[in-house]
């Protein structure tokens, strides 16, 4: 009887702590990756200037050009995911990105820097779509939403930790600290790849825990596996998914507001101190890292449809952007009042991000057919990349006319996005709209038989076991 109880307790504890096989390895890999990225993302121009020795104008021009060219990696990565699986492509991209940062300190000439930056840009642009595909392979139902929330929260925490670590390294080592940061980032990609290799993705079978590694399930139905690869023609013919991609483009413009529009608006229209920008970024990062999983769990517990919670996030964005218009109209003269009002707006904006991001991400993954998930999510990722390319010029052009115009545009795009995603409910797959609670896999048949025989070896029990 003791043996039976011990096994039961262990299995119930395991189901509570890790509902997806290999989840812990995945999350640790995400933290390691984000920490390495955080060592250069917050000050990329300065970082690459010190690492390569090239001028700021040259670095900026090269990064812009290779960033746009790097968009070509998305369709290639999507096709590769559908052919080879998300995990293999992700490991390859870890290698590309790690090699790039390993070589950056040696790329002092313009051609060398452009070549390394282009290879790294291909890896960076393709990576989010590949990671989304991997989440779709290893998780289903509510687990997708939970994993989306966890990954975003851990990424924010990792980026913050990486920026603090880079500041410490540069403060201690001076300019040589930038080279050290580049190599530490390369090492983070290598470590993340090692961790992800321990997550074994198996096609078409239930995930089980192996002796040497952890297997995670890639659920591919027989119909999908037998269906001929339609390629991107099917993606572009899928109007509901294209509508979902368009909705995300509108919301992605709002995601660019904090990093692109907020600092310009603060200094030009509000005439506030630049230090508020740093406080706003810190508040946003801390809230995302600390509250992402909690908020997403509350949304799932209430049984909200993914489309409705996505729309709610858009409405919170719209409220925050409208508050910026009000603040820019009255322009309080007190620095304390201005700073306090901006922090309240940032809290409202971040709540919108916490509600919107997990649901929107899981919605896109669930709406993509499994056999073509890589291509679908590559197309979806284009909405993020295009918004990042369009936002700076669009915001600055509107800001030159009136500082409130960009916020008015974002209010409009957020409201349209909320309306569109609710209307898409009727044409999107039911399994994508509704959050399905996935029951844990049943234990292997051998374990209950042995346990039952040890616990109650009566003839009736033995017959039932057979």
**Domain-located, residue 371:** yes
pLDDT of residue 42: 57
Q: How many CB atoms lie within 10 A of CB 336?
A: 8
| φ, ψ for residue 218, nearest 5 deg | -110, 105
Measuring CA to CA, how many Å separate 359 from each of 206, 223, 362, 379? 25, 27, 5, 18
For the chain (466 residues), the mean pLDDT of every run of 10, in chain order, is 40 45 84 86 74 84 84 88 90 94 90 91 88 82 77 80 81 84 92 86 41 36 44 91 96 89 88 80 83 80 85 96 95 86 95 92 90 91 87 88 95 97 93 68 44 37 35
User: Alpha-carbon distance 29 to 305, whole Å?
Assistant: 30
Helix axes 73-84 and 86-103, enclosed angle (nearest 10): 140
pLDDT at 8: 41
Give CA torsion, residues 210, 212, 213, 214, to 10 deg.
30
- 246 and 351 in one domain? yes
| 322/266 same-domain check | yes
Residue 226 included in any domain: no
Say whether both 210 and 243 belong to one domain: no
Which residues, other chains included, contact 95 with Cβ-Cβ below 8 Å and sequence gap of 6+? 189, 193
Same domain, 197 and 271: no
Please state the pTM of the whole predicted model: 0.73
Question: 3-state class of 218 per DSSP?
Answer: strand
pLDDT at 9 (0 to 100): 42
C-beta neighbour count of 411 within 10 angstroms = 21
**338 and 194 fall within a common domain:** no
Residue 378 domain-assigned (yes or no): yes
Residue 179 and residue 105 in contact, taking contact as beta carbons nearer than 8 Å: yes
Own/partner pairs, 343-348, CB within 8 angstroms, 24+ separation:
343/279, 343/280, 343/283, 345/320, 346/258, 346/280, 346/283, 346/284, 346/320, 347/283, 347/287, 348/316, 348/319, 348/320, 348/323
Per-residue model confidence (pLDDT) at position 54: 87
User: What whole-number distance in Å separates Cα of residue 163 and Cα of residue 181?
Assistant: 10
pLDDT for the residue numbered 200: 67
Q: What is the DSSP string of 223-260?
A: HHHHS---THHHHHH-HHHHHHHHHHHHHHHHHTIIII
Domain that holds residue 251: 231-430
Residues 189 and 315 grouped into a single domain: no
Instruction: Please write the tens of the pLDDT for every residue from 362-375.
Output: 899 999 998 899 99
* Beta strand spans in 69-181 (E): none
Residue where one domain finishes, among candidates 219, 248, 274 = 219
Same domain, 287 and 405: yes
Collapsing DSSP to helix, strand or coil, 91 comes out as helix
From 219, 239, 272, the end of a domain falls on 219
Residues 265 and 401 placed together within one structural domain of the fold: yes
Is 8 within a domain?
Answer: no
Region of 369 on the Ramachandran plot (φ > 0 left; ψ -120 to 50 alpha; else beta): beta
- Per DSSP (E only), the strands in 123-268 are 199-203, 214-218
Same domain, 215 and 312: no
Q: Is residue 446 part of a domain?
A: no
In a domain, 400, yes or no: yes
Look at residues 32, 30, 190 and name the one whose alpha carbon lies nearest to residue 98.
190
Q: What is the pLDDT of residue 417?
A: 97
- Give the three-class secondary structure for 214: strand
- Asked, for residue 436, whether it belongs to a domain, the answer is no
For the chain, the domain total comes to: 2
Phi, psi (deg, nearest 5) at residue 227:
-70, 135
Give the pLDDT confidence score for residue 427 in this predicted structure: 94
Establish if 440 belongs to a structural domain. no
Q: Residues, the chain, total?
A: 466
pLDDT at 187: 95
How far apart are alpha carbons 21 and 215 in whole angstroms? 6
Run of H or E residues at 55 = none
My answer on whether 204 and 69 are in the same domain is: yes
CATH value at residue 117: 1.20.1250.20
Shared domain check, 282 and 179? no
Tell me, yes or no, whether 215 and 277 share the same domain.
no
């Amino acid at each position: 009887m003791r043996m039976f109880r011990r096994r039961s307790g262990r299995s119930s504890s395991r189901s509570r702590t890790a509902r997806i096989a290999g989840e812990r390895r995945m999350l640790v890999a995400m933290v390691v990756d984000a920490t390495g990225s955080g060592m250069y993302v917050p000050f990329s121009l300065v970082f690459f200037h010190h690492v390569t020795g090239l001028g700021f104008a040259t670095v900026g021009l090269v990064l812009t050009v290779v960033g746009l060219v790097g968009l070509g990696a998305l369709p290639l990565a999507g096709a590769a995911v559908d052919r080879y699986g998300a995990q293999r492509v992700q490991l390859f991209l870890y290698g590309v990105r790690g090699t790039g940062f390993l070589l950056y300190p040696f790329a002092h000439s313009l051609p060398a820097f452009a070549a390394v930056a282009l290879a790294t840009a291909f890896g960076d642009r393709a990576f989010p779509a590949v990671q989304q595909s991997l989440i779709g392979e290893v998780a289903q139902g509510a687990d997708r939403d939970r994993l989306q929330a966890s990954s975003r929260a851990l990424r924010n925490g990792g980026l913050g930790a990486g920026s603090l670590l880079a500041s410490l390294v540069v403060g201690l080592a001076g300019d040589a600290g930038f080279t050290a940061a580049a190599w530490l980032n390369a090492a983070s990609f290598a470590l993340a790849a090692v961790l992800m290799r321990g997550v074994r993705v198996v096609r078409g079978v239930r995930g089980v825990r192996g002796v040497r590694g952890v297997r995670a399930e890639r659920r591919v139905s027989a119909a999908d596996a037998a269906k001929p690869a339609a390629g991107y023609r099917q993606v572009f013919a899928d109007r509901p998914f294209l509508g979902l991609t368009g909705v995300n483009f509108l919301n992605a413009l709002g995601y660019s507001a904090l990093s692109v529009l907020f600092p310009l608006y603060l200094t030009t229209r509000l005439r506030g101190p630049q230090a508020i920008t740093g406080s706003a970024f810190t508040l946003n990062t801390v809230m995302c890292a600390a509250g992402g999983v909690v908020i997403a769990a509350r949304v799932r517990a209430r049984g909200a449809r993914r489309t409705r919670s996505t729309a709610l996030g858009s409405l919170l964005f719209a409220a925050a952007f409208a508050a910026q218009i009000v603040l820019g109209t009255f322009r309080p003269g007190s620095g304390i009042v201005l700073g306090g009002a901006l922090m309240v707006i940032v809290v409202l904006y971040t709540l919108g991000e916490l509600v919107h991001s997990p649901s929107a991400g899981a919605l896109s993954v669930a709406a993509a057919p499994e056999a073509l998930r890589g291509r679908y999510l590559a197309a979806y990722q284009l909405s993020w990349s295009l918004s990042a390319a369009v936002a700076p010029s669009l915001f600055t052009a509107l800001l030159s006319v009136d500082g409130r115009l960009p916020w008015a545009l974002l209010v409009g795009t957020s409201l349209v996005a909320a309306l569109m995603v609710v209307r898409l409910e009727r044409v999107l797959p039911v399994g994508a709209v509704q959050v399905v609670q996935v029951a844990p896999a049943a234990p292997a048949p051998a374990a209950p038989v042995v346990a039952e025989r040890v616990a109650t070896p009566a003839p009736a029990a033995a017959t039932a076991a057979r």
